[in-house]
Amino acid sequence: MRAYQVHSPGTQAILAELRPPRPQAGQLGVRIGACGLNFADLLMQRGEYQDTPEAPFTLGMEIAGRVEDIGAGVSGVSVGDRVAVFGGSGGLAEYGVFDAARAVPVPDAMSDIDAAAMQIAYGTSHVALEHKARLQPGETLLVLGAAGGVGLTAVEIGKLMGATVIACARGPEKLQAAKAAGADHLIDAKTEDIREAVKALGGADVVYDPVGGDQFEAAFRACNPEARILIIGFASGDVPRIKANHMLVKNIDVLGFYWGGYLKFRPEVVTDSLAQIFAWYEAGKIKPHVSNVLPLERVEEGLELLRSRASTGKVVITPTP
């Protein structure tokens, strides 16, 4: 089988020919139809991600495909079933083995591409906004990086939860993608003062920040009392310093959030969330915005779209279309 492998941190990953692995007890062997790319893949390739496996390893965190083999002790799944799995790695390959406990049935109406695109992006936003930040109907949600893979889902889910959504992104094209996802107000991070623009709209009750850097600082200063700031990631490459005295004065909560971490200590938070997300999909309330679909031999092109922030939605690789 072909797999896109990292042989040592900081080096270029390569498309390698490997012997297909066999599932062990509690695992599924899956023929991978689609794998979503994430900014974490770039960090993992550099050895900078918090859950980077020991090299050599195959990149690719979230997949969808068809079960081809079942390890001992697995029940409730049959060969031929379609599943979506957050494996953490191993997805950029034609075949992979994954823990059966992480597999979620894929509805008949959902393509592999949509199923692969939904898990991290929608799961991150749903758990962050509902479970972590306790977003309430009528509150104002500010989404930074609102045209990225997770940013668009935060706009979409924020609207489903009854919030007024302010979308912040760079340039008119990206802002139009956020508007199409349901944003009520748009801020161009290239040309506008984020702090002043948000304050003119009444301030933010919840901030969803996958960007960091100067945008975090601007959003922090535009928060209302008792606001909650969700730290999702640092796509800007700049990890901001948090002024604890300002948190104290305005009673602001700054909340670190890592979706995949819940699989280690409260997996039901993730599985319950995915059940809700897939139900919304089946009801026609949400659909992932996939901006690029590429074959396995073009993985590096897909990663560059993330690296340069040139995508306007999810980038998905199809190892076995």
Task: Please provide residue 111's backbone torsions phi and psi, each rounded to the nearest 5 degrees.
Answer: -75, 160
Q: Per the domain annotation, does 213 fall within a domain?
A: yes
Neighbours of 242 (CB within 10 A): 14
Per-residue b or e along 180-219, where b marks 16 or more CB atoms closer than 10 Å to that residue's CB: ebbbbbbbebeeeebbebbeebebbbbbbbbbbbebbbbb
> Closest by alpha carbon to 2, among 64, 58, 85?
58
pTM above 0.75, yes or no: yes
- Do the domain assignments include residue 124? no
User: What per-residue confidence (pLDDT) applies to 236?
Assistant: 82
**CATH number, residue 198:** 3.40.50.720
Ranges in the chain, pLDDT < 70: none
99 and 49 inside one domain: yes
Does a structural domain hold residue 18? yes
Residue 129, in any domain of the structure: no
Distances (CA, A) of 309 to 49, 130, 132, 150: 18, 27, 26, 12
Q: Residue 242: inside a domain, yes or no?
A: yes
Structural domain boundaries enclosing 158: 137-257
Q: What are the pLDDT digits (tens) for 215-260? A: 999 999 999 999 999 999 888 888 888 888 888 889 999 999 999 8
What's the pLDDT at 298? Answer: 96
- Does residue 61 share a domain with residue 21? yes
When divided into structural domains, the chain yields a total of 2
Q: Which residue type, as a one-letter code, is found at position 37?
A: L
